[in-house]
Amino acid sequence: MLRFDIITIFPEFFRGVFDFGIVRRARAGGLVETAAHDLRTWTHDRHKVVDDRPFGGGDGMVLKPEPVFEAVESLAGAGDAQSLREAGKRVVLLSPQGRVLTQELAAEFAAVEHVVVICGRYEGVDERVAERLATDEVSIGDYVLSGGEPAAVVLVDAVTRLLPGALGSETSAVNESFSAGLLDFPNYTRPVEFRGARVPEVLLSGHHAEVARWRRRAALAKTRRNRPDLFAHLPLDDEERATSTGQEEEGNF
């Protein structure tokens, strides 16, 4: 059982968001547990203040360290990053300054027992949280969100679907293909012709080896077109590299 504890100033954001699809089923099946906690719970002043002005000046407010440290210590126990990791726990600070979340990092989180997630807010979080409290500082991509809450939903989804038993066996192969740095092949279903666009003939042929060859080539062409960064790192033989020339777009391989 993996437990996610999410620390946020918007706990209501998470009401219902984990009640759908794979995550709902994983929760119902006891594979994962999620809880959202209001950061203001760990303040001690009348106005439950969680932020303050940045030293050195500048716009916006910074999340104060004290409530964040108290929240994490009450949920995960005290301890430095190393002892937390040794206990099978991670404390993840979500921020645009983090390491970008990959399938590999999601798999690391899927292998532990407890993930405490800190949702950054405002213009930032006191850096001592990243330096002295979090085991990981994670971003979900190169764009700016107003806060870490949508990123927490992404993290829980990406990790939960990797838990043993969360997916059917045929879907787990898809995820392996992305782990291998190649995008999934294009899929089609009925009708064979839709608004003048036909399903590639080979997929109707029943020739399994031909279908497999088409899918491999289509996946390579799509990866090359949409993700040249991934394509550049694929371990391809000369023929595969040469035949993924982008001329396959009409389904003629």
Which residue from 81, 145, 163, 219 is in contact with ligand 6GU, where contact means CB under 6 A?
145
Report residue 2: phi and psi, to 5°.
-105, 130
Q: Is 171 exposed, middle or buried (0-12, 13-18, 19+ CB in 10 A)?
A: exposed
Piece in contact with ligand 6GU (CB under 6 A), picked from 1-9, 135-143, 190-198, 220-228: 135-143
Write down the least CB distance from residue 146 to ligand 6GU, Å: 6
Piece in contact with ligand 6GU (CB under 6 A), picked from 24-32, 94-102, 127-135, 211-219: 94-102
- Which residue, 149 or 248, has its beta carbon nearer to ligand 6GU? 149
At 7, is the secondary structure helix, strand, or coil?
A: strand
Which residue from 148, 166, 218, 224 is in contact with ligand 6GU, where contact means CB under 6 A?
148
CA pair distance 37, 14, nearest whole angstrom:
10
Q: Return the axis-axis angle of helices 149-160 and 103-110, rounded to nearest 10°.
A: 70
Write down the least CB distance from residue 97 to ligand 6GU, Å: 9
Sign of the dihedral through C-alpha 132, 135, 140, 142: positive
Is 95 one of the binding residues for ligand 6GU (CB under 6 A)?
yes
DSSP class of residue 41 equals G
Which residue from 54, 79, 96, 200 is in contact with ligand 6GU, where contact means CB under 6 A?
96
Write down the least CB distance from residue 152 to ligand 6GU, Å: 8
Is 124 one of the binding residues for ligand 6GU (CB under 6 A)?
no
Which residue from 140, 158, 159, 166 is in contact with ligand 6GU, where contact means CB under 6 A?
140
Write down the least CB distance from residue 13 to ligand 6GU, Å: 13
Report residue 51: phi and psi, to 5°.
-135, 165
Q: Which pair of structure tokens corresponds to residue 165?
A: 């038993």
Q: Which pair of structure tokens corresponds to residue 134?
A: 């979090």
CB 133 within 8 A of CB 72: yes
Distances (CA, A) of 153 to 15, 105, 167, 214, 239: 11, 15, 18, 35, 41
Is 242 one of the binding residues for ligand 6GU (CB under 6 A)?
no
Q: Which pair of structure tokens corresponds to residue 73?
A: 């210590």
Which residue from 44, 47, 144, 168 is in contact with ligand 6GU, where contact means CB under 6 A?
144
Which residue from 34, 139, 223, 244 is in contact with ligand 6GU, where contact means CB under 6 A?
139
Cα angle at 176 between 171 and 177, to 5 degrees? 100
List contacts with ligand 6GU (CB under 6 A).
94-96, 120, 139-141, 143-145, 147-148, 151
